[in-house]
Amino acid sequence: MGAVQPCITPELAEFILAQPLFFVGTAPLSRTGHINLSPKGLRTFRVLSGMRVAYLDLTGSGNETAAHVLENGRITFLFCAFEEPPKILRLYGTGRTVREDEAEWPEMIGLFPELPGARQIVVADITRVQTSCGFGVPIMKVVEQRETLVKSAERRGPAGMADYREKKNLVSIDGLSAYGSREVGAVEGGDLGQTLF
């Protein structure tokens, strides 16, 4: 049965951090724009407080999440248990990006593992925490995390990654800027607090 929770409780934070995979969903305001759903791994998610989370975003073939949160801020995270007991957790909120040239970066980057190819940290203030049964999710075992993304970033080096982002990450597939003005969709900054776990 689905249930709305008052916040990310310590038990839910423990569940989140135990998952080897999570999904990030965003969408542009345009009704003809593409909804984006991205799988993320490598243990890059952090619970900052009962209503704030962040994840380290590594350079990939697109930058839809950044473009969408810059335009409108809307973001949803999905976690599901692939082992027993079954559970699904959705976090709805308003997101923004923090990049290396911003004042928050030095404090925030220390919360994450050192991974080559880091392009931004996505921070979200959560407005709804909702659990559901997860009975339809299959039971699966994790064999290992893939190393391809990290090895590719190591091979390219910092200059190569900057060049790659310049070519592949500046706009969404709908033409929205991923690096433009931060006035739209920006969440107010503030005290990061401590991670719960």
For residue range 2-59, list pLDDT tens digits in order: 899 999 999 999 999 999 999 999 999 999 999 999 999 999 999 999 999 999 999 9
Please name the residues in contact with 95: beta carbons below 8 A apart, sequence gap of 6 or more. 26, 65, 69, 73, 74, 75, 122, 123, 124, 125, 185, 187
What type of residue sits at position 138? P
Q: Does the pLDDT at position 103 exceed 60?
A: yes
Pull the structure tokens for residue 56. 């380290």
Query: What pLDDT, on the 0 to 100 scale, is given for residue 180?
Result: 75
Q: Does the pLDDT at position 186 exceed 60?
A: no
Q: How far is CA 41 from CA 18, 144, 147, 177, 192, in A?
A: 11, 11, 11, 25, 23
Q: Does the pLDDT at position 183 exceed 50?
A: no
Flag whether the pTM goes above 0.75: yes
57, exposed or middle or buried, with CB in 10 Å at 0-12, 13-18, 19+?
Answer: buried
Cα–Cα distance for residue pair 50/60, rounded to 1 Å: 29
Q: Does the pLDDT at position 107 exceed 50?
A: yes
Query: What pLDDT, on the 0 to 100 scale, is given for residue 39?
Result: 97
Query: What pLDDT, on the 0 to 100 scale, is given for residue 1?
Result: 59
Cα–Cα distance for residue pair 35/74, rounded to 1 Å: 11
- pLDDT tens digits for 114-158? 999 999 999 999 999 999 999 999 999 999 989 999 999 999 999
Q: Does domain 3-168 have CATH number 3.30.479.30?
A: no
Please name the residues in contact with 115: beta carbons below 8 A apart, sequence gap of 6 or more. 42, 44, 56, 58, 150, 153
